[in-house]
Amino acid sequence: MAISAADVKILRQRTSVGMLACKNALEEANGDMEAAIELLRKRGEMKAASKADRTTAEGAIAISGKAIVKLLCETDFVARNEGFVALVEEIAAKANAEGAEAAKAYFESIKTDKMQEIGENLILEQVEVISEGSVVSGYVHSNRKVAAMIGLDGSDEEHARDAAMHATAMAPLVATPEEVDPALIEKEKEIAKAELLEAGKPENIIENILVGKIKKFCAERALTSQAFVKNPEQTVGEYLGANVVAYVRVEV
């Protein structure tokens, strides 16, 4: 039978379960509200929904091929659990093989069961698949709390992985200095100008000083212009010898 949107909304209000799950339950129960609630209870949907508002401040990151995934949970104890880590890696493998949307859909299909099994709220906060670059590699820190992926238009996976490892440690905001947010630059200009005026610098030379300061500000926040952690005598860009065409850094 056809299920009205109004009935789905009522069931949603009564159970806090997702709209799709409510619609499916009503369809199976032939529109019987109480029977639909019983179905949701049997499936554990209502228990999972009761966990859904709980804070997810912990989690883990996984990389598979060209995909990077961040899955959040409530406690560090669960984040370090082998089963949870295996779940993150499974979702990452799904994203690499079938794409980000397929991975998200897969997670939604198993979310209720996994929340029941693990006993905590779970949120798939980030799924990204790098499509740019002939060479793609990434690095996940041993604590699984921070990771990065790099796409290059040349070079090799070892260089890309080294750059990703650098990024996890030095946290560049963007790949190149040209990509730094103009709003962030303007804010930094305001601060630097105020400091220069406070220091008594003549206004006629402040603009020239600001050019150098902003250039340094952008260089320090971009991957390619940062001093490479393995060899501070060269920049990451010089080490790579190729253009960074994709850059993703993820942190829990």
2-6, 71-75, 98-102 — most confident range: 98-102
| 137 shares a domain with 184 | no
Higher pLDDT, 71 or 33: 71
Tell me the three-class secondary structure of 137-153, residue by residue.
EEEECCCCCEEEEEEEC
CA–CA gap between residue 101 and residue 204 (Å, rounded): 54
| 11 shares a domain with 80 | no
The CA-atom distances, in angstroms, between 203 and each of 119, 191, 217 are 62, 15, 21
What per-residue confidence (pLDDT) applies to 37? 81
Q: In what order do the strands lie in the sheet with 146-152?
A: 135-140, 146-152, 244-251
- 189-214 burial by CB neighbour count: b if 16+ within 10 A, else e? beebbeebeeeeeeeeeeeeebeebb
CB-based contacts of 160: which residues, under 8 Å, 6+ apart? Answer: 135, 136, 137, 138, 150, 151, 152, 240
CA–CA gap between residue 168 and residue 187 (Å, rounded): 25
Residue 139: inside a domain: yes
In the block, residue with structure tokens 């050019």 = 211
The helix/strand/coil state of 128 is strand
* pLDDT band at residue 39 under the 50/70/90 scheme: confident
Residue 251: inside a domain: no
Q: What is the average pLDDT across 191-216? A: 87
Higher pLDDT, 99 or 50: 99
Inform me whether the pLDDT recorded for 53 exceeds 60. no
| 160 shares a domain with 80 | yes
Q: Which residue range(s) make up the domain with 104?
A: 58-170
Q: What is the average pLDDT across 150-176? A: 96
User: What pTM did the predictor assign?
Assistant: 0.73
* pLDDT band at residue 44 under the 50/70/90 scheme: low
Q: Which of 170, 199, 221 is the last residue of a domain?
A: 170
| 144 shares a domain with 108 | yes
| 88 shares a domain with 135 | yes
* Phi then psi dihedrals of residue 139, to 5 deg: -145, 130
| 18 shares a domain with 78 | no
CA–CA gap between residue 191 and residue 168 (Å, rounded): 28
What per-residue confidence (pLDDT) applies to 43? 67
Residue 252: inside a domain: no
* pLDDT band at residue 194 under the 50/70/90 scheme: confident
* Phi then psi dihedrals of residue 175, to 5 deg: -75, -45
Q: How many domains does one find in the chain?
A: 3
* pLDDT band at residue 48 under the 50/70/90 scheme: low
Contact 166/226 with Cβ under 8 angstroms? Answer: yes
Residue 34: inside a domain: yes
Inform me whether the pLDDT recorded for 219 exceeds 80. yes
* pLDDT band at residue 54 under the 50/70/90 scheme: low
| 109 shares a domain with 146 | yes
CATH number assigned to the domain comprising residue 23: 1.10.8.10
Contact 220/213 with Cβ under 8 angstroms? Answer: no
Residue 245: inside a domain: no
Q: What is the pLDDT of residues 97-111, one digit of tens each?
A: 999 999 999 999 888
Closest CA to 79 of 109, 56, 106: 56
- Across all residues in the chain, what is the average pLDDT? 89
Residue 249: inside a domain: no
Q: What is the pLDDT of residues 223-249, one digit of tens each?
A: 999 999 999 999 999 999 999 999 999
Q: Which amino acid is residue 188, in one-letter code? A: E
What per-residue confidence (pLDDT) applies to 65? 95
Q: Which amino acid is residue 105, in one-letter code? A: A
